[in-house]
Amino acid sequence: MLAFHSPDPDFSHAYALILAGGSGTRFWPLSRRSRPKQLLQLFGPQTLLEQTVRRIEGLIPPERIYVFTSRSIHRRVLQLLRKVPRQQVVPEPAQRNTAPAIGLAAYEILRRDPQGMMVILPSDHLIRKPESFRRALCAACRWAAVDGRSVTLGIRPTRPETGYGYVRVGRQVNRRNPKIFPVAKFTEKPAAAAARKYVASGEYLWNAGMFVWRASTLVRHLQDFQPAMAQGLSRIAAAGGLRNRQALRRWFPRLEKISIDYALMEKIPEVFAVSVEMGWSDVGSWAMVYDLSRKDAQGNARPVNSLAQDASGNLIHSSGKFIAVAGVHDLVIVETPDALLVSTRQDGQKVGRIVAELERRGLDQLL
């Protein structure tokens, strides 16, 4: 474990908000309501949530980390993140998407520190180059220290991905690495033809969903662009904020359910992007897990307790049973004590439909 030290004066006022409330239905049957994607050990012994916290060790101390999660996994998150103060692991009373959660954290941080800087991090992403991430985060905090500026971490696209958001950027505004660009436009999950144009133009970055700004900047933008939400959040803050869970349960579910991208990022001025290559993936499907996993000589990503004969390109995940495959190719096979998933790698995005059908049939024991 790294001892805390602040490598940059801007981090003396930095607070992290880790968003850990997602459901991760695309990883059924391994992921369930009580064990969503951020709690899975897909790449090593640590969960994706633990890896997220570990990446900011030495930059932001535990007493300045907030984790917003769901009530169903609150206890498990507390067990995993014992160094984060318990009162800063917050079970959201209702799922309201990212904007209300980020706004609530902004009011809380502003109460603690008028100069507070917010670092927003999803809890379910994989970053294979953590030092590149940390350098980009330092650059983002330095740039966002100026009141009014907002910064997003952007990934140079490697393919015309339709499942990601994109940001169109202008000319580089700094002379250092990592590069910083003004953001001209946000686009959510474009069609395939548009995605191909974006990648070919060289003017777009993937939106990684990681943001940095002063808490005062965020609150002011909420007041200007989302006044109803700002009014509700200020009511919670006036009642004691996170310290008054009764007020939180009463008022938070009344806030509009909307993402921070739609609520603010597409509207506000002075948005910038730090371009970084950090081995990033949002790990959005079993097919993506296959791409990111180690493979045998036949291209199978499989556990030690398995056997593959005349089989290639398969992803195999077992809860303990020995799995043998023969003569099959490009499959996803995921076994748990109570369920088995078999699909082609190309159809991995359809797993969400299976979950929806299980819910329609009332098979809650499988959700």
**Does residue 7 carry a pLDDT above 50?**
no
Domain boundary residue, one of 225, 253, 281: 281
260 domain residue, yes or no: yes
Count other C-beta atoms under 10 Å from residue 82's C-beta.
8
Predicted confidence at residue 176, as pLDDT, reads: 82
Residue at 117: amino acid letter: M
Sign of CA pseudo-dihedral 252, 256, 261, 267:
negative
43 is written with which tokens?
């790449």
Question: Given pLDDT bands bounded at 50, 70 and 90, which one contains residue 361?
Answer: very high
Supply 247's token pair.
Answer: 């007020």
Mean pLDDT of 25-53: 93
- Statement to judge: residues 251 and 303 lie in one domain: no
User: Residue 214, exposed/middle/buried by CB under 10 A (0-12, 13-18, 19+)?
Assistant: buried
Residue 200 has pLDDT above 90, yes or no: yes
Q: What is the pTM of this model?
A: 0.92
The distance in angstroms from the start CA to the end CA of the chain is 35
Average pLDDT over residues 27-36: 93
In terms of residue numbers, what domain contains 87? 9-281
Helix (H) or strand (E) holding 19, with range, is strand 14-20
> Is the residue at 1 inside a domain?
no
Same-domain pairing of 39 and 115: yes
Here the CATH number for the domain that contains residue 249 is: 3.90.550.10
Instruction: Give the residue ranges of DSSP H helices in the chain.
Output: 48-55, 74-80, 98-112, 130-144, 192-201, 215-225, 227-238, 245-251, 260, 286-292, 351-360
Domain-terminating residue out of 241, 257, 281: 281
Band (pLDDT 50/70/90 cuts) for residue 106 is very high
Give me the pLDDT at residue 350, please: 87
Residue 294 and residue 210 share a domain: no
Average pLDDT score over residue span 33-58:
94
**Average pLDDT of every residue of the chain:** 93
What is the average per-residue pLDDT within 230-259?
A: 96
List Cα–Cα distances, 288 to 26, 283, 356, in angstroms. 11, 6, 21
Q: Are 297 and 271 in the same domain?
A: no
Position 9 scores a pLDDT of: 45
Point out which residues pair with 180 in neighbouring strands: 274
Whether residues 343 and 241 fall in one domain: no
In the chain, the percentage of residues whose pLDDT exceeds 70 is 97
Residue 155 pLDDT:
96
329 within domain boundaries: yes
Pick from 90, 123, 133: which is nearest to 109 by CA?
A: 90
Q: Report the domain count for the chain.
A: 2
pLDDT digits (tens, 9 = 90+) for 291-329: 999 999 999 999 999 999 999 999 999 998 999 999 999
DSSP state of 89: E
CA–CA distance, 98 with 166 (Å, rounded to integer)? 18
**What is the distance between the alpha carbons of residues 338 and 342, in angstroms, rounded to a whole number?**
14
pLDDT digits (tens, 9 = 90+) for 134-193: 999 999 999 999 999 999 999 999 999 988 999 999 999 988 888 999 999 999 889 999
Give the model's pLDDT for residue 4.
36
Q: Examine the domain organization and report whether 255 and 117 are in the same domain.
A: yes
Whether 291 maps to a domain, the answer reads yes
In 10 A of CB 174, how many CB atoms? 14
Domain stops at, among 249, 281, 313: 281
Task: Tell whether the model's pLDDT for residue 6 goes beyond 50.
Answer: no
Q: Are residues 258 and 357 in the same domain?
A: no
Give the pLDDT of residue 333: 97
**Are residue 308 and residue 231 in the same domain, yes or no?**
no
The mean pLDDT value for 85-104 works out to 96
**pLDDT > 60? residue 2:** no
In-domain check, residue 41: yes
Q: How confident is the model at residue 11 (pLDDT cuts 50, 70, 90)?
A: confident
Q: Does residue 143 share a domain with residue 43?
A: yes
Sequence-distant (6+) residues with CB within 8 A of 319 are: 335, 336, 337
Is the pLDDT score of 364 beyond 80?
A: yes
28 & 60 share domain? yes
Which residues is 70 bridged to in the sheet? 92
Looking at the structure, tell me whether residues 255 and 316 fall in a common domain. no
Residue 3, in any domain of the structure: no
pLDDT at 5: 40
Q: Is 185 contained in some domain?
A: yes
Cα separations (Å) of 17 from 142, 170, 302? 18, 28, 34
Q: Is residue 24 part of a domain?
A: yes
360 in the same domain as 266 = no
